[in-house]
């Protein structure tokens, strides 16, 4: 379908991103999946290519591009390529907005410049063994002692947890203040009391390092507070709509990619003397997927437009996130079925996509949490 959201400048940027993926990611994808981690040099290369940190102002080494369509293009092309381990959407869509919005000048000079140069990669640590979607259950604590924060606790399921040079840690700084008792504190690599645990083995996204993190009387400078003390929960909520939209964007692009490959397969694969796509049942399934993907694409593009004009709401993003990730799961399952036995072979992209897709309805807020947000907005 024709998309009217992008200009010729965006088309040029998309071509640049595709070329970067073909040059710097695709040749290494198999090795990275085997190793369970990507080569850190890919972030330096991404920065040099203008694919990382483009939203950072020019005075801090970025390109000063305040246009979410560029974020969407990177998310889409990574989803279409074999790029699940490269955390560019994490850095561009989650970390960069925090650093742009919440830092003081000293922190910008210290962190933004290195992010824009690809010299510093990041993670954000929210989930804990006893607190996933329920952020109010976070137990990792930070107490102020003089010019330091002392952090104690444990985090799990942390994307980029092994490679990260710095981690934004969600801490409880006032146990009596409820949602007003959380703060965001940056813990940098090598800080005493900060240890990385296991690189966790997962069903999919094998090249994406996911880790446990441990903090044992971990002392960091008071100047590493990100944003306002006691406003951590609200800082998280402010960025969640665009984060969830990014997940929806990746979901639709990934589903469209596998669907296009499956259309080709269904035309070329012959059974009982005819292409498998010409059987009425299969033709109907393909027609249904094409229709649902087009409808989802229109809604997601409208949400991108709402980011541009500042009207995207948490409810808009929740609708996009749950619908698109569930559709992605459904489409990939049906495409694998159309591939038959070949779909079960990992040499086919649909098999790898089937492994990777299952997390999409969980990360960033489960489908059930998204529906609860929408339901409450409707007055229930």
134 Cβ contact list (under 8 Å, min separation 6): none
Q: What percent of the chain has pLDDT over 70?
A: 100
How confident is the model over 146-156, as pLDDT tens digits?
999 999 999 99
What is the pTM for the complete model shown?
0.95
Confidence of residue 135 (pLDDT cuts 50, 70, 90): confident
Distances (CA, A) of 297 to 70, 80, 104, 262, 289: 17, 15, 38, 18, 12
Outline which parts of the chain fall under CATH 1.10.540.10. Answer: 8-120
Q: How far apart are CA 355 and CA 363, in angstroms?
A: 15
pLDDT score, position 82: 79
Cα–Cα dist 21/24, whole Å? 5
Active-site residue, 243 included: yes
- For residue 132, pLDDT beyond 80: no
Give the dihedral of Cα atoms 68, 74, 79, 84; nearest 10 deg.
-120
| Residue 56 to residue 71: CA distance in whole angstroms | 12
Residue 83: per-residue pLDDT: 85
The average pLDDT across 82-107 equals 94
- CATH 1.20.140.10, the chain: domain bounds: 234-377
282 close to 288: Cβ distance less than 8 angstroms: no
* Contact between 142 and 151 (Cβ < 8 Å): yes
Q: How confident is the model at residue 308 (pLDDT cuts 50, 70, 90)?
A: very high
Number of H helices, E strands in the chain: 13, 10
268 burial class (0-12, 13-18, 19+ CB within 10 angstroms)?
Answer: exposed
What pLDDT score was predicted for residue 70? Answer: 98
Domain with CATH 2.40.110.10 in the chain: 124-228
Whether the per-residue pLDDT at 36 is higher than 80: the answer is yes
CATH superfamily of the 8-120 domain: Acyl-CoA dehydrogenase/oxidase, N-terminal domain (1.10.540.10)
Predicted local confidence at residue 90, as pLDDT: 95
Domain 234-377 has CATH 1.10.645.10: no
From the candidates 128, 229, 243, 256, which is the catalytic residue?
Answer: 243
β-strand partners of 123:
167
Which pLDDT belongs to residue 138? 92
Tokens read off for 143? 């107490």
At the fourth CATH level, the homologous superfamily of domain 124-228 is Butyryl-CoA Dehydrogenase, subunit A, domain 2 (2.40.110.10)
């Amino acid at each position: 379908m024709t998309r009217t959201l992008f200009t010729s400048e965006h088309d040029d940027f998309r071509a640049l991103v595709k070329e970067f993926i073909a040059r710097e990611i695709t040749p290494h994808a198999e090795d990275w999946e085997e190793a369970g981690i990507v080569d850190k040099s890919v972030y330096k290369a991404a920065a040099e290519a203008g694919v990382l940190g483009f939203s950072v102002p020019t005075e801090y080494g970025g390109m000063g591009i305040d246009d979410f369509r560029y974020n969407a293009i990177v998310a889409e092309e990574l989803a279409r390529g074999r790029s699940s381990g490269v955390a560019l959407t994490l850095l561009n869509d989650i970390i960069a907005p925090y650093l742009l919005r919440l830092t003081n000048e000293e922190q910008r000079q210290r962190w933004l410049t290195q992010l824009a140069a690809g010299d510093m990669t990041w993670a954000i640590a929210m989930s804990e063994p006893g607190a996933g979607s329920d952020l109010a259950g976070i137990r990792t604590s930070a107490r102020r002692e003089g010019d330091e924060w002392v952090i104690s606790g444990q985090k799990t399921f942390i994307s980029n947890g092994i490679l990260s040079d710095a981690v934004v840690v969600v801490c409880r700084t006032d146990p009596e203040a409820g949602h007003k008792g959380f703060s965001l504190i940056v813990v940098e690599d090598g800080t005493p009391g900060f240890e990385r645990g296991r690189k966790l083995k997962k069903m999919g996204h094998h090249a994406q390092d996911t880790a446990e993190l441990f903090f044992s009387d971990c002392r960091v400078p008071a100047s590493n507070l990100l944003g306002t003390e006691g406003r951590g929960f609200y800082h998280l909520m402010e960025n969640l709509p665009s984060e969830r939209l990014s997940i929806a964007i990746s979901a639709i692009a990934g589903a469209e990619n596998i669907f296009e490959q499956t259309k080709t397969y269904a035309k070329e694969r012959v059974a009982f003397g005819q292409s498998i796509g010409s059987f009425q049942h299969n033709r109907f399934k393909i027609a249904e997927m094409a229709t649902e993907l087009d409808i989802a694409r229109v809604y997601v593009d409208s949400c991108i437009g709402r980011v541009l004009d500042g009207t995207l709401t948490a409810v808009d993003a929740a609708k996009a996130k749950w619908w698109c990730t569930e559709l992605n799961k459904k489409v990939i399952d049906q495409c694998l079925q159309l591939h038959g036995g070949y779909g079960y072979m990992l040499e086919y992209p649909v098999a790898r996509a089937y492994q990777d897709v299952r997390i999409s309805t969980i990360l960033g807020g489960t489908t059930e949490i998204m529906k609860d947000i929408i339901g409450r907005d409707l007055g229930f």
